[in-house]
Amino acid sequence: MERENEILHINEEVSTEYEISALMKAFDGGPILYFHNVKGYENNVVGGVCGAKKRICRALKTNLEKIYEKISQACEHPKEPQITESGSVMEVLEKPNLNRIPVLTHYFGDGGPYITSAIVSALSPDGEFENVSIHRLQVLDEKHLAIRLVPRHLHKLWLMAKEKGRDLDIAISIGVHPAISIASTAPVPYGVNEYAVANRLMNGRLKLIECPNVNAHAPADAEIILEARISASKMVNEGPLVDITGTHDIIRKQPLIEVLNVMHRENYIYQALLPGGSEHKILMGLGREVMIWKIVSMVVPHVKAVNLTVGGCGWLHAVISIEKQTDGDAKNAILAAFAAHPSLKHVVVVDTDIDVYDPNEVEWAIATRFQGDEDLIVIRNVRGSTLDPSGDQKTGLTTKMGLDATKPLDKPTESFKKAEIPVNDKIKRLIDELKSIQQRT
């Protein structure tokens, strides 16, 4: 990324309390930010690594048109990574002191400093299954964290350990290859090892270590690893923290984590992630886009693109472009999208001539191709996202809406085409020259 001018270096002294996060928000979706002078800390901080899809495509050696297929194939054909005895993350072994790590306090009103980019890995109590997932971790003191556990795979492993009266061993890895972050949010069923998905995405280059103090694996070249245990019995208040919607999530009773040991590179870089920022939305949403693309492709002939929109928090709103053959295709696509991503609240289906990443084009399609009494689907009192402050954040119940903004097939296609002006080579050249002058001034 340095070679491609994708990194902005910041040498002025900045604080982990609000200042770094303010700069990350100001440049959200732009370059990677590299902070060389962090007040009170020896180590540097980097933010926004996965904040643009083009960078993720570079990391996965693919392009935007093929990224869904690449992730889907990795999920279907995972490859177990190599286990090695040592790695660069083991250069320094020390007792836990979380206050020495430059963890950020992001927003006014947050419950405290939060580790937000960490990959948490755990084995089932019988050692048969391994799960890798991203979780927000609230720093409570030098050796304790609170973890937000939603009822997914890590929560299941924790319950299994709890039933046996045991704490759950985990490895918390900070500063990892983007393929691992993407794999950790991939829509794979319980029992599929996300490390194996990441290894397939990395063409077999992922190496793991066996943690010396807990029964867990971690990337050998991570920047930092915290060996820890999730308590089977101790619960603490977790939150509030801004989540993907850009609003503060509610305070909940969540499990306590005790950190037992810290491993890190000698001069590690702390990887930060801005809650509610573009990186958060991409990492959470990309796997869901893959699932929507896959499931909707089963009910319509061709899905061109899926976009969990920025305005929809990268989670609650989807725009899907399809190649429509019958007037029922768009409605089937809407229902399939809701099935693929239960947190979805609103879905807009458009034709392939509409750019799903351009909100003006999507709105134009709604304005010119949608009729509320014929093309609207409303589903009441169904499961949605607990992150939506307008819904019931305890039960997750909400109302969902789908809009068929595709061209009706019983009307002339010409009625729905945008008018064009012929542009010859002379005018193209003149336009380019005028735009260049405009940019300079």
Q: Say if CB 215 and CB 86 are below 8 A apart.
A: no
Chain mean position to CA 75: 16
Side chain identity at residue 328, one-letter code = G
**Per-residue 3-state assignment (H helix, E strand, C coil) for the chain:** CCCCCCEEEECCCECCECHHHHHHHHCCCCCEEEECCECCCCCEEEECCCCCHHHHHHHCCCCCCCHHHHHHHHHHCCCCCEEECCCHHHCEEECCCHHHCCCEECCCCCCCCEECCCEEEEECCCCCCEEEEECCEEEEECCEEEECCCCCHHHHHHHHHHHCCCCEEEEEEECCCHHHHHHHCCCCCCCCCHHHHHHHHCCCCCEEEECCCCCCEEECCCCEEEEEEEEEEEEEEECCCECCCCCECCCEEEEEEEEEEEEECCCCEEEECCCCCHHHHHHHHHHHHHHHHHHHCCCCCEEEEEEECCCCCCCCEEEEEEECCCCCHHHHHHHHHHHHCCCCCEEEEEECCCCCCCHHHHHHHHHHHCCHHHHEEEEEEEECCCCCCCCCCCCCEEEEEEEECCCCCCCCHHHHCCCCCCCCHHHHHHHHHHHHHHHHC
Let me know if 221 is a catalytic residue: no
Alpha-carbon distances of 4 from 8, 123, 134, 241, 264, rounded to whole Å: 11, 39, 28, 34, 28
Annotated active-site residue in 110, 243, 249, 351: 243
Residue linked to tokens 């070679």 = 3
Q: Say if CB 341 and CB 424 are below 8 A apart.
A: no
Which residues are part of the catalytic machinery? 243
